[in-house]
Amino acid sequence: MTDNLKPLSTATLTLEDKSYSLPTLMGVEGEKSIDISKLRAQTGYITLDEGYGNTGACESSITYIDGEKGILRYRGYPIEELAEHSRFTEVAYLLLHGELPTVDQLNLFSKRLNESSIIHEDMHHFFNGFPRGSHPMGILATMVASLSTFYPVPDVLDEATEIQIVANLVSQVRTIAAFSYKKSIGEPLVYPSIKYRYVRNFLNMMFSSPVRDYQLDDDIVRAIDMFLILHADHEQNCSTSSVRTAGSSMANVYAVTSAGISALWGPRHGGANQEVIQMLEQIHAEGGDGTEFINQAKDKNSGRRLMGFGHRVYKNFDPRAKVLKKQCDKLLNKPGMNDPLLEIAMRLEEIALKDDYFISRKLYPNVDFYSGLILRAAGIPTNMFTVLFAIGRMPGWLAHWREMLHGKQVTITRPRQMYVGETERHFVDIENR
């Protein structure tokens, strides 16, 4: 326990006519917990908490969320302020180092990211080994894990090596992502350039070619930058917990972040914005404007579900959605932005925000609803949506890995279970079975 957790009174647990006193603690934002770290040793009992929704697995000073009030802060800074005033590289520095950078610190960090953006030339052969049409997330997870063979991690990390490894991952993840996309469409790779900053570099690697210059649109660059900021961290979610779990075994950081990428790939996690677009495509294919789909979604027996609305953590409005909606509206109102799916999305939003069914259940548009629209408007293919999420989340994963690594002690993650299988039985020869 750190000094930042304030001891409160004790909680009394009664089991089999015997009482036990358990310490209670309070965090810096007033959240309360019962310390059960000695529960099994004292009582012989464990807790059963499927999905860990009521379990605090660690102490962290990186991100604070209050789902009831719709609050999200990185290192104490409200997400609304960071999204409005910062750029992704500045937020990445904040997550990794705990403070917003000075001008000199940001320039040095940006320079290091640029110099670290090229991957080992021999890695290009790996891309050729994947079947045509391979999902970019599968390629990304594999290639990030393979970085450890090209950039070996020493058993004992000094500060300079750790900082360089972090820069490698934050920078090279976008290079690998862009190369994955180029291979999937059969176009030659476009190398990172010293001329561009982080987001512009990524978009140029994605969309330019030897026979076609990519015209960087300032509004799209800003929208993607904001997307990355809003996805940079989100407390102990599935992928971040996977990073901490893998990291607790002291696996190398490339394997650890690859575990995070793999967890993010699931449709219940990073794939949610892709499901929004698939829903819109379905509505469009059926010739509707979304009105009938909304009616069916309200009928629990219809099998239809409105994707991109509501959130497991936020019981009010998703603060990231509020920020992204403004950017989304700006993009969709640009001249020449004519997409029937985007029109359907706006219709769904309009209906849901006025319908008592959704209002009473607090099913507001979440960040996935707007992020899918922004990525589509920017020309990002649907199968690359989760890859963009992974690029944004990389600094958060690394911040949690570093926080764990430099804590008082690294305790390997080892949850307990409630066994529900067969009781003891004895081996029978195959002839007698």
N-terminal to C-terminal alpha carbon distance within the chain: 54
**Mean of all residue pLDDT scores within the chain:** 92
Q: Which of 366, 341, 365, 342 is nearest to 353 (CA)?
A: 365
The pTM score is 0.92
Is residue 254 within 8 Å of residue 113, measured between CB atoms?
no
Q: What is the mean pLDDT of residues 325-347?
A: 83
Q: Which of 58, 404, 415, 401 is nearest to 256 (CA)?
A: 401
pLDDT band at 2 (very low <50, low <70, confident <90, very high): low
Catalytic residue (choose from 225, 233, 318, 368): 368
* Domains in the chain: ranges and CATH: 6-56 (2.20.28), 82-218+229-268+385-405 (1.10.580.10), 272-377 (1.10.230.10)
Is residue 410 within 8 Å of residue 248, measured between CB atoms?
yes
Q: Give the separation between CA 71 and CA 80, rounded to whole angstroms.
A: 9
Q: Percentage of residues in the chain with pLDDT exceeding 70?
A: 99
Q: Give the separation between CA 172 and CA 72, rounded to whole angstroms.
A: 27
| pLDDT score recorded for residue 1 | 54
Active site residue 311: yes
Is residue 391 within 8 Å of residue 202, measured between CB atoms?
yes
Residue 402 has pLDDT above 90, yes or no: yes
| pLDDT score recorded for residue 267 | 84
- Dihedral angle at the C-alpha atoms of 264, 279, 338, 211, nearest 10 degrees? 40
Q: What is the pLDDT of residues 183-209, one digit of tens each?
A: 888 889 999 999 999 999 999 999 999
Q: What is the mean pLDDT of residues 4-25?
A: 91
* 230-239, 291-300, 402-411, range with the lowest pLDDT: 291-300
Number of H helices, E strands in the chain: 18, 6
Tell me which of 407 and 229 has the higher pLDDT.
229
| pLDDT score recorded for residue 240 | 97
pLDDT band at 3 (very low <50, low <70, confident <90, very high): low
Active site residue 3: no
Residue 272 has pLDDT above 90, yes or no: no
| pLDDT score recorded for residue 113 | 96
CA of residue 137 relative to chain centroid, distance: 13
In order, the DSSP letters of 4-51 are TSEEEEEEEEEETTEEEEEEEEE-TTS-EEE--TTHHHHHS-----GG
Residue 430 buriedness (CB in 10 A; 0-12 / 13-18 / 19+)? exposed
pLDDT band at 350 (very low <50, low <70, confident <90, very high): confident
Is residue 87 within 8 Å of residue 226, measured between CB atoms?
no
Q: What is the pLDDT of residues 112-143, one digit of tens each?
A: 999 999 999 999 889 888 888 888 999 999 99
pLDDT band at 39 (very low <50, low <70, confident <90, very high): very high
CA angle 235, 237, 241 (to 5 degrees): 95
Residue 319 has pLDDT above 70, yes or no: yes
Residue 323 buriedness (CB in 10 A; 0-12 / 13-18 / 19+)? buried
Which whole-number Å values give the CA distances from 412 to 69, 156, 245, 261, 415, in the listed order? 33, 18, 7, 20, 10
Q: Give the separation between CA 396 and CA 238, rounded to whole angstroms.
A: 13
- Please write down the long-range contacts of 328-336, taking CB distance under 8 Å and 24 or more positions apart: 328/223, 328/370, 328/373, 328/374, 328/377, 330/219, 330/223, 331/219, 331/220, 331/223, 331/373, 331/374, 331/377, 331/378, 332/373, 332/377, 334/219
| pLDDT score recorded for residue 299 | 86
**Residue 187 neighbours by CB distance under 10 Å:** 15
Q: What is the mean pLDDT of residues 18-30?
A: 93
Q: What is the pLDDT of residues 67-101, one digit of tens each?
A: 889 999 999 999 999 999 999 999 999 999 999 99
pLDDT band at 291 (very low <50, low <70, confident <90, very high): confident
Catalytic residue (choose from 311, 329, 400, 426): 311
